């Protein structure tokens, strides 16, 4: 599946981009007066291979959730149980992402790709889990210490593919697609095996296909996982060559001693594993998280379907680095929603050559920054659809 997806990713359509630039020159506004919005609309035309490109609607947020063995190193003040508890909050509609999604008319799909603790019951995509609440908390009967042979076959059909998605903004939806119950501690051993990392990437691809098949015109990245900014920093440093001090932030809020320890943890993991940035699957396995790998798959899946994907914060852009390492042309499908307050996000965006649409000092995750940026993306495309030309409006040009 991964090879097929990568093979389907193509560079931007230069003809469509040229047509979009030419059209901008004829619209009733001074040339260049919409600044970065004009270039964004040109990029989206190149992605779609059409001018004007389709309106990016409806929007679908995919929140991938997982836990991290490195949490045992004290890199976060929050207990790991919060990951599963927040999934319950997402499904109940009480999180910030839900409020912003309702405002934007976006659907919310929550994907358990590796949560360590039992989940609350809720609307699930896996029919087995729907009939057996225990399956929702441990869909494959996995244990974090289980031998690799006990883990699910990464090539097996995923529960996410068994039901058609309904993109209903009013009803958050849970997909049970757990690869394992949290990663291993990356300071001790590789966080994942290559097969586990591959399974998570392919889950992301399947979710992208499912949401696009259900009619989504744009995908938005979301994430949930206590401690996940530590593997994100490791991924950013591995793919960009940045010093861990420049790639590591304070996450959900840590004091100076904990921050210094977190930087040391990231540095030690990179020394231990020496991840090769030309081997993205190996990097994800060594120092990544299940949600990072799944987000990389979501981005690749969107790029293969020539559908824009609106990136959220530091977790998303760390995953985007992996997606770009798999397929450089995948960057053409990426839109940077915002500049996270996490310093690694700026390092990653610079490496990807992406300019964020908004900068509000956000560091929540969940998909919140991407949702706030969504109207900007829609506006950029709507200009090409709806603004009159000088000729059609009878307006004199200079």
Q: Which of 14, 366, 386, 397 is catalytic?
A: 366
- Determine contact, residues 76/123, Cβ cutoff 8 Å: no
Instruction: Quote the tokens at residue 267.
Output: 């540095």
Question: Strands 107-114 and 173-176, how do they pair?
Answer: parallel
Question: Is position 366 annotated as part of the catalytic site?
Answer: yes
* CA torsion angle 313 95 138 302 (round to 10): -40
Instruction: Quote the tokens at residue 274.
Output: 């020496």
Q: Which residues are catalytic?
A: 366
């Amino acid at each position: 599946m991964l090879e097929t997806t990568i093979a389907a990713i193509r560079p931007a359509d230069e003809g469509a981009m040229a047509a979009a630039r030419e059209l901008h020159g004829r619209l009733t506004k001074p040339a260049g007066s919409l600044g970065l919005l004009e270039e964004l609309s040109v990029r989206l035309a190149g992605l779609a291979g059409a001018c004007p490109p389709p309106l990016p609607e409806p929007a679908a947020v995919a929140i991938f959730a997982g836990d991290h063995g490195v949490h045992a190193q004290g890199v976060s003040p929050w207990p790991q149980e919060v990951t599963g508890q927040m999934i319950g909050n997402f499904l109940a509609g009480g999180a910030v992402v839900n409020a912003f999604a309702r405002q934007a008319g976006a659907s919310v799909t929550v994907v358990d790709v590796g949560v360590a603790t039992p989940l609350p019951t809720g609307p699930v995509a896996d029919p087995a889990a729907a009939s057996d609440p225990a399956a929702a908390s441990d869909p494959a009967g996995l244990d974090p210490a289980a031998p690799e042979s006990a883990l699910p076959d990464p090539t097996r059909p995923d529960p996410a593919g068994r039901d058609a998605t309904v993109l209903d903004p009013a009803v958050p939806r849970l997909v049970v697609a757990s690869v394992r119950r949290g990663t291993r501690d990356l300071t001790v051993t590789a966080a994942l095996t290559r097969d586990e990392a591959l399974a998570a990437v392919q889950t992301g691809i399947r979710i992208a296909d499912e949401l696009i098949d259900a009619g989504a015109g744009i995908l938005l990245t979301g994430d949930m996982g206590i401690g996940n900014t530590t593997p994100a920093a490791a991924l950013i440093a591995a793919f960009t060559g940045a010093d861990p001090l420049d790639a590591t932030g304070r996450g959900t809020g840590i004091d100076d001693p904990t921050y210094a320890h977190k930087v040391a943890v990231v540095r030690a993991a990179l020394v231990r594993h020496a991840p090769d940035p030309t081997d993205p699957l190996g990097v994800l396995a060594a120092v990544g998280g299940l949600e990072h790998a799944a987000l990389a798959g979501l981005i690749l899946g969107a790029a293969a379907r020539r559908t824009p994907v609106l990136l959220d914060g530091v977790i998303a852009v760390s995953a985007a680095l992996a997606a770009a390492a798999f397929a450089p042309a995948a960057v053409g499908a990426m839109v940077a929603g915002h500049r996270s307050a996490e310093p690694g996000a700026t390092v990653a965006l610079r490496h990807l050559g992406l300019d964020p649409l908004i900068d509000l000092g956000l560091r929540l995750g969940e998909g919140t920054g991407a949702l706030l940026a969504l109207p900007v993306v829609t506006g950029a495309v709507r200009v090409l659809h709806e603004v009159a030309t000088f000729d059609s409006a009878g307006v004199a040009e200079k």
